[in-house]
Structure 1
């Protein structure tokens, strides 16, 4: 499955695209992973929204790109978050394609800067294969073990 990549600011998302994004995030994070939290957290309007879309413009993969300092002065680097692939796109390398595209978009939007993520701990090896290294001990977030990781600026994906 070849995906077309679109990276848009919040205001460029029409109601239908925004609905698809929120529905996919809720399906995976709230229903599949059983994490009860308010997904629309107030950050989306200031973020970039990376979407992997199929031939019929259906949403298969998504990541939210946060500019530096959006979450406060402690967030000095851009962040990739809300990384998600639809169940029908899993197992075909779309997660890796999504992350490579997210890394490339971060380099384009915020050149010369590293990238931070808060990764689910069981995916640490996957993110390490993309150049991310742990920067924290594991911690609990919404009942799932997470670990903070960072990718240095200029590392090849």
Structure 2
């Protein structure tokens, strides 16, 4: 079971920020062999959903209010540490993120830019693909919506 915490950027302490950036780089840059600018100036507007197992950050998303990333509320940088994926923590962190949007933002519509290979994962969470596939940082993505 994950210990899930939600914080604004200004509420993150230095260690939490470091752990978050380290996990994102571990998966999105190193594991996926994708050179891109992860630190993109959007973290300051995001709410950060942090999933801890035994005090170690193993799952993470960032969540945006409508207008801060897309016109709709959105979830991005969905990541689970490679050696923890068998526990299905992706579902736990996404459900917590969806709940932040419903409860804290009072929003029902969520838009994401999903890596195509994760389509079924997002379908299982109620997201539906919309539009054509596109490349984002060299990786096939698709826009998906949950209402």
Q: TM-score, normalised by structure 1?
A: 0.90
Query: Which of the numbers 58, 61, 69 marks the counterpart of 1:60?
Result: 58
Unmatched 5+ residue regions in structure 2? none
Gaps in structure 1 of 5+ consecutive residues? 153-157
User: 1:100 deviation in Å?
Assistant: 1.0
Partner residue, 1:4: 3
- Is 1:116 matched with 2:115? no
Shift of 1:81: 0.1
Q: 1:93 aligns with which of 88, 91, 114?
A: 88
Residues matched between the structures, number: 147
Work out the CA distance in 1 between the residues paired with 2:6 and 2:140.
Answer: 29
User: Which residue number corresponds to residue 42 of structure 1?
Assistant: 41
| TM-score of the pair, normalised by structure 2 | 0.96
| CA distance in 2 between partners of 1:134 and 1:110 (Å) | 23
- Structure number with higher strand proportion: 2
Residues 77 and 113, structure 1, Cα contact 8 Å, conserved in 2: no
CA distances 1:96-116 after superposition (whole Å, capped 9, x unpaired): 111111111111122133101
SS in 1 for 2:131: coil
Is 1:20 aligned to residue 19 of structure 2? yes
Poorly superposed stretches of 4+, deviation over 2 Å? none
Secondary structure of the structure 2 residue equivalent to 1:76: coil
1:142 aligned to 2:137?
yes
